[in-house]
Homo-oligomer: A and B are copies of this chain.
Amino acid sequence: MTRILPTVTGPQDLRTLTRDQLVQLATEIRERIIEVVGRNGGHLASNLGVVELTMALHCVFDFKTDRLLWDVGHQAYVHKLLTGRNARFDTLRKAGGISGFPNTAESEYDLFNVGHAGTAIPTAVGMARGASLVGEDRRVVAVVGDASIFNGVAFEGLNQAGTLRRQLLVVLNDNSMGIAPTQGGMAEYLAKFRVSTVYEDLKRGVKRYLPQVPVIGKPAFNALDHLKDAFKATLSPHQIFEQLGFVYVGPTDGHDLEHMIELLQLLRDVQHPVLLHVHTQKGKGAEWALADPTKFHSPKPFKVEGCRVEIQKGGVSYTAAFADALIKLAQEDTRVFALTAAMPDGTGLNKFQQLIPERFLDGGIAESATVDIAAGMCKAGVRPVAAIYSTFLQRAFDQVFQEVTLQGLPVIFGIDRAGLVGGDGPVHHGFADIAYLRVMPNMVLMAPGDGPEIEAALRLALSLDTPSAVRYPRDTVPEPLFKDGATPPFELGRSVRLREGQDATVLAYGSTCRAAMEAAGQLAAQGIEVRVVNARFAKPVDRVMVSESMTRGGPVVTVEDHSVAGGFGSAILEAARDIGLAANHVVLLGIPENRFIAHGSRAGQLAEVGIDADGIARAVREALGAPPTAGGATLQRHRDLSYVPTVDET
């Protein structure tokens, strides 16, 4: 049989295919996704679930002029395959290859670079109003999952959308799963309506009213009214959306391609906000993925052999070390309570949940509320630890301010995915948490340099009466920094020296400590002896250490897996100035202030921004004025660095 997918150059080709060919294409798309994700890792189950829905959307709308927004965006693989990116799809998530999320640089069909949940609806409202304002006739469609649609931003968007007096189609892709099972009262409510019989009723409804083919305005609307009535009789979750001003249609079977096409044709030109509620299955087409959609939400590379699927194993991650440390501390202290926002697996807390379920809460894709819940618990005498990715904690900035910092409540934040994240790319890098938390009064910011330091940092955090945060990257833990488990305890605002050397000083923050030590090893082999300091704290920074580092002679290199704008290095500069010391001999290594680092391997990204061992060694050599490539030659030391450390007179 001739393969169809390679012949699809764009959505227009879909419209020439027969029904049978479309069915075959759906199968080929699933095979292609399983093949590439199996090799590269990536988002699997969600993409397998939207094959027919995506095909139907591209059959009925023309997204050259119409606008399609994917909420979160991890479910856009099918969309990519159908919009001319099949040939390059092998490069998924690789450096220079296809992004795992919608990417405006890749295709005119990708409108927003996204990755965070809940924003497609308000963005769609803006695009719809914008199109009307500039006098362009564009239909706007947003596809949103059932976990995301009850995120606060999505709800705010729905509330605004309901007042639109023009076309807007929101497709609720309901698979009863976010990344983990969907949380909250609405999830329980929606669950009541997941009964297969309604599909049949729906189909009958559509068939009955389809002869009244849609035209813009009143006639289509009348047909729609009848359609709605047909659904309502089946007792569906229409009220909430209707209360918000939407015409609600559904629920319907999102895997029945022909039916989806018919339905979308009927809804396409309705000049009113419409919510189409579609039921799909995460992992559809792969029994093993269907059976465990959480495991196959975003797996590492895997191999399928018959019914056996083997996912590639990595080393021990910072995430796992965090979870283990937290479990240990929770077993010692019954006040410890763990929270996550829809990421029990991603944060490693699923293990905590299994062991101590009564002290675990998954707040759903609702970081803002999750932080407030933690604050309320803390006020009540509990010691909450909220594990949230750096990029997602951005969504709770104001709650970290108002409910936590302003009260001085000792809520602890476990900031996972802090720093460069590899394949997920710019939308997921934790590049900003130091900057956005450092401005919070009395916040304590820590970063462990290895696995054992996570426990040490959390132990200090639990002893504090102020808010604190412990940041760690999406990476495996390195060889321990201290031998024989002799990790010194964390003391507030105190750094630890890891290696001595008179030529230069490297101040490493968090996970960059190991790279700094490796750089020091390389440099030692070239005759350059470097002191390496494990800074441990970005707030408060160790002022004794800063003072000594600035005045001891030799360049000082700060290293952080974070933007250099307002980050750890910036805090060092501020501290030096406070003490009255010159800092023009300091070199700040980190993510450049004005660049988004593209997806690729984390190792490649670290190298790109120069915070791997080679980059740190290179920076030290440059600061010393040593030639860029050392070979094995003895270096001329530049001891006459032209700065004069002084103490401020004020």
Binding site for B on A (CB under 8 A): 104, 111-116, 119, 121-131, 133-134, 136, 138, 150-163, 183-186, 188-189, 237, 239-240, 243-246, 335, 337, 359, 361, 363-364, 366, 368-370, 372-382, 384, 392, 394-395, 397-399, 401-403, 406-407, 426-427, 431-432, 435-436, 438-442, 539, 563-567, 570-571, 573-574, 576-577, 580-588, 593-596, 622-623, 625, 638, 641-650
Q: Which residues of B contact A122 (CB under 8 A)?
A: 368-370, 372-373, 376
Given the interface pairs A185-B245, A577-B586, A582-B584, the reply to whether A438 lies near B441 with Cβ below 8 Å is no
Q: Which of B125, B246, B442 contacts A376 (CB 8 A)?
A: B125
Q: Is the CB of B379 within 8 A of A112?
A: yes
Distance from A505 Cβ to chain B, minimum over Cβ atoms (Å) = 15
Q: Which residues of B contact A650 (CB under 8 A)?
A: 587, 622-623
Q: Which residues of B contact A566 (CB under 8 A)?
A: 435, 438-439, 566, 570-571
Q: Which residues of B contact A159 (CB under 8 A)?
A: 150, 183-186, 364, 366, 369
Q: Which residues of B contact A586 (CB under 8 A)?
A: 577
Distance from A386 Cβ to chain B, minimum over Cβ atoms (Å) = 11
Bound: A571/B566 CA distance, A = 8
Bound: A392/B402 CA distance, A = 11
Bound: A124/B403 CA distance, A = 11
Q: Is the CB of B585 within 8 A of A584?
A: no
Q: Which of B160, B189, B588 contacts A577 (CB 8 A)?
A: B588
Bound: A220/B73 CA distance, A = 47
Bound: A439/B376 CA distance, A = 30
Q: Which residues of B contact A439 (CB under 8 A)?
A: 431-432, 435-436, 563, 565-567, 593
Q: Is the CB of A111 within 8 A of B379?
A: yes
Max chain B Cβ within 10 angstroms of own Cβ: one of A153, A186, A427, A623: A153
Q: Which of B152, B162, B398, B580 contacts A156 (CB 8 A)?
A: B152
Given the interface pairs A134-B380, A163-B184, the reply to whether A399 lies near B239 with Cβ below 8 Å is no
What are 18 A-B residue pairs whose CB atoms fall within 8 Å in the complex?
A: A113-B407, A119-B402, A122-B370, A123-B375, A152-B368, A156-B363, A159-B183, A159-B184, A162-B186, A163-B183, A185-B246, A435-B436, A435-B439, A438-B565, A566-B570, A584-B648, A623-B650, A643-B644
